[in-house]
Amino acid sequence: MSEMTTPAGAPEEVVTKAFVREIDLGAFGAAGTLSLITIDNGMDHTRPNTLGPKSLQELDNAITAAESSSSVAIAITGKPFIFAAGADLSALPFVSDKSQALSIGKYGHDVFKRLGRSKKPTFAFINGLALGGGLEVGLHCHYRTLASTAFTALPECFLGIVPGWGGATLLPKLIGPEKAVQVIILNALNNNTMMKAKDALGLGVVDAVFEPADFLEKSVAFAAAIISGKQKIERKDHSADNAAWDAAMATGKAAVAKKYGGAEIAAPLRALELISAARINTLDQGFDAEDEILANLVMGNPLRASLYAFNLIQKKRKKVEGAPKPALARKVTKVGVVGAGLMASQLALLLVRNLKVPVVMTDLDQARVDKGVEWVRAEITKLVEKKRLSEEAGRRLSLLVSGSVDQKVFASADFIIEAVFEELAIKQKLFKDLEAIISPECVLATNTSSLSVEKMGEGLSHPERVVGFHFFNPVAVMPLLEVARTSKTDDATTATAINVGKELKKTMIICKDAPGFVVNRLLTRFMGEVTDAVDEGTPADVADNALRPLGFPMSPFELFGLVGPGVALHVSKTLHNNLGPRYRISPTVQRLVDNGVKSFYIKDESGKLAPNPEALALVEKGSNASSSEEVRMRALKALAEEARMMLDEGVVSTPAEIDLCMLLGAGWPMHLGGILPYLDREGISEAVCGQRFHPHGVASLPA
């Protein structure tokens, strides 16, 4: 058997032990005993079972014990609520030689395939979360049961690798190529979507689903029925369906192209190769191909970059840099939302769903108020219809939402967020009016995207309770929340805002009250370089496609159409007025707004995006065209320059916070690992700023 050792410098493995016990099958209608292997890392549920070298050795020893016993079958299950979260990835960034990378794949295959090749029937009793290598353990077994509350997935392509312990070979053979592409490619690229139990059963990934209360008992009974011959599971040979394999490859390639804007991203494309090859490969040939592809990906930057980004997101979800002590947070028992338009209504829905306290909306007239409240209640009804809420929970939430044209309804509120028109004078007057109504402790939050939060609090008796609380659209989906402190915002206000953000399940950063905060400042500078290039005479398609090799899901002008020219122009004017002429006001964008043209693209008859002739007619007629490479470099250099300024100004305290914001708020691709490590790798940081943002590299990137 191949040997696998932990690379030098890698963190110490949390070992997942494997225990074997014999279960008498007599009471279940079959003769003999079942060797049940339970894998358990001895930690509580906050640390799922993972599989590193020592853990695989434990499992290997347990399989040997089960094989040598007198049992008639072997099964494997996990600790309470958790089967296994896959390979221990903490060592991958420290792999320095391809032979080490090859050993990772080979060792997992050598252990797992013993379950597939055992002369005894083998079963996976997947009692909880099963991801990556955890699910692959089950795929090697002859049969699989799943707890109804468990989630499963093969998320490897999301992280920049492939299912390398059998998944890319076994799954297409088991459920067919189209369903395998769904699980391995589409789900992974769709923000790492996991399968619910009913999905896994419907796709054929598992053979039976049981409730958790008696899951083990029902699973053993299922195994006994198979062993005794009372139940049979038919397996289909998918290799002969030419059309299905061709359709699956086309679907997968289209999904990759859409996700990465046409860029050639290695992991999902290599996974598609493995799925396609599974049609004719033997298992050993497939496993060998997985080993080789996995090793090559482990030695590349995209994986290491993805792991840095993934680990950063996981870490910052749990801890907000610079947050005051949670004990300082005030209790929030009622929330006010000023405004009843779409953004305000989205905020109200998010707040009532997560805080489960009364949420009251106000606006200028009753018609607007009624429309906002009705929208929120309609969305709650949709959640009930989709069975994401019970009818009782839906009724309770609907009753918690109300509206009024009288701001006196805010008198008993503890937290108020405004989402009114982006004009400073309007927001200043609003806050002064509210201060005459609310308690001195009530937090006044603003969802402004670019205006000065501190100026909104000017003239207030309690400016210390004003804080920026900037969401991204769509509010329910986008995970980032920028919490902006002014020079007067106190710790109690900040702690309350952070506590509300945690209840809303948002990943937060605390930033200085500076124009555009983090994401809008960087994104506007970035987008501005592209529009400037067009104004100077660069063809719009050349400028817009310049960044495609990076793998963004949208081009700058596609994003521009989503944001809207009016919003983009407003933000650029605000930043121009506050940060200076490097934020130029594009005459092209000004004309688009003046003429009511919404986007550079329109949909053609087939539904595909095509250049909008109205927009192209309004483009500034410059005479200094740039090449695609020149546009790409000027945009990236601008990002490096702006990020350096933001760190020097103390907008955020660490480069990692900028990486986090661009990953979660601007869609910076995971495979690039965050904006600043990418600029470091490309040499742009040193060329522009004279230094790297991460001087000693980051955990998953070479220094």
| Catalytic positions | 136, 156
Instruction: Please compute Rg for the chain using Cα positions.
Output: 28
DSSP 87: B
The C-alpha atoms of residue 77 and residue 34 are separated, in whole angstroms, by 12
| 8 Å CB contact between 63 and 57 | no
Q: Cβ–Cβ contacts within 10 Å for residue 460, how many?
A: 17
221 backbone φψ class: left, alpha, beta (φ>0; ψ -120 to 50): alpha
Q: How far apart are CA 651 and CA 663, in angstroms?
A: 17
Residue 262: both structure tokens together: 């046409």
Structure-token match 């949390």, residue found? 14
Ramachandran category for residue 276: left, alpha or beta (phi over 0 → left; psi -120 to 50 → alpha)? alpha
Q: What is the 3-state secondary structure (H, E, C) of 207-256?
A: CEEECHHHHHHHHHHHHHHHHHCCCCCCCCCCCCCHHHHHHHHHHHHHHH
Residues 6 or more apart from 665 whose CB is under 8 A from it? Answer: 472, 478, 480, 482, 518, 519
DSSP states along 411-478 = TT-SEEEE---S-HHHHHHHHHHHHTTS-TT-EEEE--SSS-HHHHTTT-S-GGGEEEEE--SSTTT-
- Dig out the tokens for 367 from the structure: 């018609």
How many CB atoms within 10 Å of residue 611?
A: 15
Distance CA 336, CA 498 (A): 17
Closest to 625 measured CA to CA, from 504, 532, 511: 532
Between CA 429 and CA 305 the distance in angstroms is 46
Dist. CA 286–CA 420, nearest whole Å: 58
Whether 679 contacts 522, CB under 8 Å: no
**Nearest alpha-carbon partner for 66 in 21, 110, 112, 35:** 35
Indicate if the alpha-carbon torsion angle 165, 167, 168, 171 is positive or negative. positive
Dihedral sign from CA coordinates of 366, 367, 369, 374: positive
Task: Give CA–CA dist 698/677, Å, rounded.
Answer: 7
d(CA 521, CA 576) in angstroms, rounded, equals 11
| DSSP-assigned letter for residue 10 | P
Token pair for 349: 């829905």
- Crossing angle of helices 167-175 and 266-277, in 10° steps, is 50
Query: Could you tell me if residue 531 is left (phi over 0), alpha (psi between -120 and 50 degrees) or otherwise beta?
Result: alpha
Alpha-carbon gap, residue 93 to 76, rounded angstroms: 30
How many DSSP H helices and E strands does the chain contain? 29, 19
The residues with which 18 forms a beta bridge, in sequence order, are 39
- The answer to whether the beta carbons of residues 589 and 569 sit under 8 Å apart is yes
Find out whether 302 and 161 touch, Cβ atoms under 8 Å: no
